[in-house]
Amino acid sequence: MTALPIENLLFREHQGVLALIGAGGKTSLMFQFARLLLRSGHRVLTTTTTKIFVPTREQSAVLIVASDPQSVLHQSSSSLANSRHITAAAQRLPNSNKLKGFSSEEILQFAESGIFDWILVEADGAAHRPLKAPAAHEPVIPSCTSILIAVIGLDVLNQPLSEKVVFRCELAGPRMGLNQDEHVSEAALVRLIIHPGGVFKGAPPGARRLIFLNKSDDAELRAAGSRIATMLATAEANPAEAVIVGQALDELRIHALHHLACTP
């Protein structure tokens, strides 16, 4: 188990934009990161470029819904005096418990305002599957992103490739070298991670890239995460600087941190 606190790896700078893509726990991870930043005294905005569920009070005590970014900034300026964590969305979606987010350009407005120290953005959707392959229009990563984290649920391992466990499995299969109903292996996950159309598709050139292997609920899955990291470390086109093996639910648990030689 790594002794390095995750905040020392991710939040070296005082300010930035962290975007979460992929599948298997992005929302939970976003709000866990917000808690870490709050404990360090930072002012935090959590939001999305796609859709998220309305946060619980435990996740975020303040929710601002406004389509005009300037209105969000104005309301945030008043709210930050009492709460250093704000969640914002452009609108409530009818007949659902979901919120619609902002464009990449609007996220840039939030970042340039200087009101927040850190902006955490859920920048992808996966319909609650542990793994996904992005379509042509995905993910929706803000151009100002400084840290990009691709999330994968380790519970996809050894499951047959199907839409039940892999979002857009018709795209994922060819990128992983799998046919429908073949089991998702560690090597198949590595192929998706390093594929040009894989988990880091559309990554801004200047963003740091990391992988969070989530749902490492037992020793077997933690060992699988370590093997995936080892395979990535020796891959010719490894796209990430580190692999984190952990659990986003409850208290954020980091079981292992593997530094990689990033050679995009």
Residue type, 164: K
At 3 the pLDDT is 43
| pLDDT over threshold 80, residue 195 | yes
At 81 the pLDDT is 87
Q: Which two tokens stand for residue 132?
A: 């996904």
6-65, pLDDT tens digit by residue? 777 888 888 999 999 999 999 999 999 999 999 999 999 999 999 999 999 999 999 999
- Percent of the chain's residues with pLDDT above 70: 96
Q: Which value, to the nearest 10 degrees, does the dihedral of the CA atoms of residues 249, 66, 150, 250 take?
A: -10
Residue 261 — pLDDT band, cuts 50, 70, 90? Answer: low
The lowest-confidence range among 116-125, 130-139, 192-201, 253-262 is 253-262
Residue entry with tokens 């939970």: 28
Q: Give the domain ranges of the chain.
A: 13-50+122-259
Pick the CATH number of 13-50+122-259 from 3.30.160, 3.40.50, 3.30.750, 1.20.120: 3.40.50
Q: Which two tokens stand for residue 1?
A: 């188990």
Residue 249 — pLDDT band, cuts 50, 70, 90? Answer: confident
136-192, pLDDT tens digit by residue? 999 999 999 999 999 999 999 999 999 999 999 999 999 999 999 999 999 999 999
| pLDDT over threshold 90, residue 122 | yes
| pLDDT over threshold 80, residue 91 | yes
First to last CA, the chain: 27
Report the sign of the C-alpha dihedral through residues 171, 172, 173, 177, in that order: positive
| pLDDT over threshold 50, residue 99 | yes
Q: What is the mean pLDDT of the chain?
A: 93
| pLDDT over threshold 60, residue 263 | no
Residue type, 96: S
> Is residue 258 classed as helix, strand or coil in its secondary structure?
strand
At 4 the pLDDT is 52
pTM for the full predicted model: 0.94
